[in-house]
Amino acid sequence: MFTPTIEWVNGRIRLIDQTLLPNEFKKIYCDEVSEIWQAIKTLKVRGAPAIGIAAAFGTVLGIWHSTADNYVDFETELKDITDYLSTSRPTAVNLFWALKRMVKVAQENKSLTVPELKERLLAESLDIMSEDQQMSRSIGKYGAGLIENGDNILTHCNAGGLATSDYGTALAVMFSAHEMGKQIHVYADETRPLLQGARLTTWELMRAGIDVTLICDSVAGQVMKEGYIQRVVVGADRIAANGDTANKIGTYMVAVMAQQHGVPFYVAAPTSTVDMSLENGDQIPIEERGAEEVTEGFGQRTAPEGVKVYSPAFDVTPAHLITSIITEKGVINPPFNVNLKRAFL
């Protein structure tokens, strides 16, 4: 049921083109580092853990045909490739985490020959993917413990298998609860402007046999007011040391409404999404997307030509609005500035 989102296949990167879903399921190949950069930039592959894996595979793809015959030249090429991949998207920290990890592995194995270094980096990228699979299932297990039989859960954007290697973060909680036999119902925000909730989250949940209702983003407050929602579970693209969390634009609004209506608000993410170098969410870089995604979404003009557009891809939910952060190491409760540190001990 859980189809791999991204794979290394015979020296090529194979991934699901998420821009085509739900109308077409298609896997595409990337043979050049510029192609995986473009796939990340254009959201063919998306979701913080998934683009971390893509960056690791992209690093291997970039150095695979290196003709360097010594470590110094190889390291120069490696740095050029990782620097280039780091420019694809600025907010999701897993991208930078994976690139730094690849560089560190090379530095720690500089005594190897260049062919051996290439194989070592490939092994590391595959480890990153395998670890993601394990972390996703642990997140699901811990998160499912917070879900009661009969719960209605609201989620925003897509933090499912498509956002990871195959299982998810926020949706992993729902998959795991469902696998335990708990009866749940999910309300999925459509997630403007690119409709990741409508296109991707509903597609994944329906494939898993989980009852799901699609709602417009502006309906989230109303379903909470009417008492339909018992929990909110979302993913994350970067979590600061104090617990402030960057996620898809609109998440902050959902968190405010959840607090207003007394609904627990959970963030599900691996510890690789936690950026302990940032004191708070004000330091998280927020990507801005092109105006055409708002005014000409999916090829149909929906606003007057020439209108000004402001389109941040993410917002930051303050830590005080977050009930708990669900990680592969367990459920982390406030105070986050203390308890997140403990997760790394």
d(C-alpha 121, C-alpha 108), whole Å: 11
Phi-psi group of 15: left, alpha or beta (phi > 0 → left; psi -120 to 50 → alpha; rest → beta): beta
* Phi, psi for 168 (deg, rounded to 5): 110, 180
| 48 within 8 A of 73, measured Cβ to Cβ | no
185-189 and 152-155 strand pairing: parallel
| 135 within 8 A of 129, measured Cβ to Cβ | no
Q: Which pair of tokens denotes residue 154?
A: 């609201």
238-240 and 314-317 strand pairing: unpaired
In what side-by-side order are the strands of the sheet with 238-240? 274-275, 238-240, 245-248, 314-317
- With H, G, I as helix, E, B as strand and everything else as coil, classify residue 265: strand
* Phi, psi for 324 (deg, rounded to 5): -155, 160
Does residue 31 have an active-site annotation?
Answer: no
* Buried residues in 37-66 as b, exposed as e (16+ CB within 10 A): bebbeebbbbbbbbbbbbbbbbbbbbbeeb
- With H, G, I as helix, E, B as strand and everything else as coil, classify residue 297: helix
The torsion defined by the Cα of 275, 280, 285 and 288, in degrees rounded to 10, comes to 120
Pick the catalytic residue from 237, 244, 275, 315.
237
Residues labelled catalytic = 237
